[in-house]
Amino acid sequence: MPPATLQLARTFSALSWAEIPAPVRHETERLLLDTLGCLLAGVDTEIGPIARKVGLTLGGGIPVFVAGGADLGLLGAIYANARLANALDLDETFPVGAHFGVGAVASALGLAEAQKQSGAAFLTAILTGYELGARLASQIGPVIEITDGRVTGFPVIWGVAAPVVLAAAGAAARLLAQDPDTFAQTLGVAGANTPIPAGAHWAAAVDLPNAKYCDAGWCAVTGAGAALAVEAGTTGFPTILDGPSGLARVSGAVSSGVAHLTEGLGERWLIADITYKPWPSCRFTHPVLTALGAILANERPAVDAITAIVVETGPLNGSARFTLATPRTFASRQFSFPHLVAMQLLAVPPGPDWSDPRWVEDPVATALRAKVSFVSHPRGEDFVHSLTRNQMRTLPGGIQVHLADGRVLRAESDTAQGDPWDPGTLLSDEMLAAKVRGLVPGPAEPLIEAVEGLSRAPSVGPLIAALRAAGGRQ
């Protein structure tokens, strides 16, 4: 049996858009549309000027699209677009607690424009990158330690950068039409240069840094840059994903087995497991926000009638970044339950406004955050029994809203809005389009139509034009 790294390279180097099942092609288009909406929404945030400044330092070359301003050289554009698309934590999430679609999209977008590739080639590259990231993420799995069906701890060393790097590398390798051996070299160079797993530092942090658990921009540049470096003659480790020192193992995977990397290649598509976010926050908070949404759909109490709010959650949401009552940093406002619940109760439109620093001192939001307390959900650990192919399918959570008249409004949810395996939470095409319409400052319909027609387009030019318009510039 060939090494897993080479098996993946052989499969995805030969991938053809015409041979991909129609539902998988459609999901690739949905991923692209969602990511582009998040990209444009990230411009008017704290990350906007940072992403551009860093992008400017990464050299020239053929200028390509960057959200929010003038075009940049290829690697600078890839950096800026990946960082912006992940800025709000509103981009897709794979059900192990990682998201890496931004790596595939940013890498493919820059290269497809620079090389004047067709829409179908661009979409094929995105799917290639996403599948590689998803297979590695599935091998790593949720970064938890489980004994007798209970969460007993977390690995000392873990991280979520590797799937982003691999997604960007795979997308670039496919657009560069690398043969299997060259593709495997790209994965080797990308894997060997993946950022160190810094998850333990992230888990211990309270005032969260805006680079978060990993800088998606650097991860995307690492992956795309690996493919370009191999084209220039660089060689790496073509078995980087294999064995006890494989990339998953050093990223926190409990086992060095490669089954999740290679099973069902060409038959089972992991993009079908993608989850989409209706709120700009960590996916682990979304079952609670889904439950609160169910309450508010039936009754929206006046803010001054609320006397207490009790969040019911599990062990994955127990650290300080989730319980923080005063989230003073940009990233902290994407993880603090008190802040997120306040935003939902105040009916703030999901998007950049949820991360605005003015909420830190806002008296109404401050009063609401102070009313939030936490208890363990009675089924908070049950998600360990729903693990499917090393992916989470449930994450039970609930919320109680106590009112001055003595009533308690309570709801719970095992899943979150945007989960694909529950018909009640599946994000429809229209719901996804509505999300994008709410995020972009310019006209959204041309962008939506450009994505829908992309597979038939001879180049990504029409998509880039629609992106510029949707971002408020021609």
**Does residue 208 sit in the same domain as residue 324?**
no
Count Cα atoms within 13 angstroms, Cβ side, for 441.
Answer: 14
Distance (Å, whole) CA 412 – CA 396: 7
Q: Is 151 helix (H, G, I), strand (E, B) or coil?
A: strand
Whether residue 350 sits in one domain with residue 269:
no
Residue 421 lies in a domain: no
CATH number at residue 252: 1.10.4100.10
pTM of the entire predicted model: 0.97
| Range(s) of the domain holding residue 79 | 4-274+440-470
246 dihedral zone (left: phi>0; alpha: psi -120 to 50; beta) = beta
The 8-class DSSP code of residue 110 comes to H
Within a domain: 419: no
Distances 220 to 19, 99, 102, 223, 293 between C-alpha atoms, Å: 27, 12, 8, 5, 34
User: Of 397, 413, 429, which residue constitutes the final position of a domain?
Assistant: 413
Q: Answer yes or no: is 139 within a domain.
A: yes
Structure tokens at 460: 């990504």
Task: Please tell me the total count of domains within the chain.
Answer: 2
Secondary structure class of 1 (helix, strand, coil):
coil
302: which 2 tokens? Answer: 């006046």
Query: Per the domain annotation, does 384 fall within a domain?
Result: yes
**What are the φ and ψ backbone dihedral angles of 388, each rounded to 5 degrees?**
-125, 120
Judge if 158 and 293 occupy the same domain.
no
C-alpha distance from residue 154 to each of 74, 201, 253, 393 (Å): 38, 12, 11, 19
Whole-number Å distance between alpha carbons of 130 and 61: 26
Please check whether residues 153 and 292 belong to one and the same domain: no
Q: Among residues 107, 99, 159, which one has the least CA distance to residue 128?
A: 107
Tell how strand 145-147 and strand 408-413 pair up.
unpaired
Q: What is the dihedral of CA 24, 29, 35, 37, to 10 degrees?
A: -150
| C-alpha closest to that of 415 among 386, 393, 444 | 393
Please give the structure tokens belonging to residue 388: 């499917």
Query: Does residue 114 form part of some domain?
Result: yes
User: HSE-up of 299 (CA within 13 Å, CB side)?
Assistant: 13
* Length of the chain in terms of residues written: 474
Q: Which residues have CB under 8 Å from 69's CB, separation 6+?
A: 52
Candidates 236, 25, 238; CA nearest to 127 is: 25
**Residue 300 phi, psi (nearest 5):** -115, 95
CA distance 52 to 39: 13
User: Are 77 and 204 contained in the same domain?
Assistant: yes
Phi, psi of 373 (to 5 degrees): -130, 175
In a shared domain, residues 217 and 105: yes
Q: Which backbone phi and psi does 401 adopt, to 5 degrees?
A: -115, 110
344-348: long-range contacts (C-beta < 8 A, 24 or more apart)? 344/279, 344/289, 344/292, 344/293, 344/296, 345/292, 345/296, 345/303, 345/306, 346/303, 347/300
91 shares its domain with 222:
yes
Q: Is the dihedral of CA 73, 75, 79, 82 positive or negative?
A: positive
pLDDT at 355: 97
199 and 248 co-located in one domain: yes
Asked if 357 and 293 count as a contact pair (C-beta separation under 8 A), the reply is: no
**Greatest pairwise CA separation for the chain in angstroms:** 72
Residues 338, 403: one domain? yes
Q: In terms of Cα–Cα distance, which of 218, 214, 192, 191 is closest to 132?
A: 191
Q: How far apart are CA 126 and CA 111, in angstroms?
A: 11
- Asked if residue 134 and residue 24 are part of one domain, the reply reads yes
Contacts of 422 (CB under 8 A, 6+ apart): 415
Q: How far apart are CA 320 and CA 322, in angstroms?
A: 5
For residue 351, the tally of other CB atoms under 10 A from its CB is 22
| Co-location of 159 and 235 in the same domain | yes
CATH number for the domain spanning 302: value is 3.30.1330.120
CA dist., res. 12 & res. 6, Å (int):
10
What are the residue ranges of helices labelled H in 141-212?
161-175, 180-192, 199-204
Report yes or no on 218 lying in a domain.
yes
Which mean pLDDT values do the consecutive 10-residue runs of the chain (474 residues) have? 95 97 98 98 97 94 93 97 98 96 98 98 98 96 80 83 98 98 98 95 94 97 98 98 93 82 95 98 97 98 97 90 97 98 98 98 98 95 88 95 98 97 95 98 98 98 98 79
Q: Is residue 208 part of a domain?
A: yes
The torsion defined by the Cα of 242, 243, 245 and 247, in degrees rounded to 10, comes to 30
CA 50 vs CA 54, 80, 217: distances in Å: 6, 8, 11
| Domain co-membership, 177 together with 205 | yes
Indicate the helix (H) or strand (E) that contains 306.
strand 306-313
Could you tell me if residue 38 is inside a domain?
A: yes
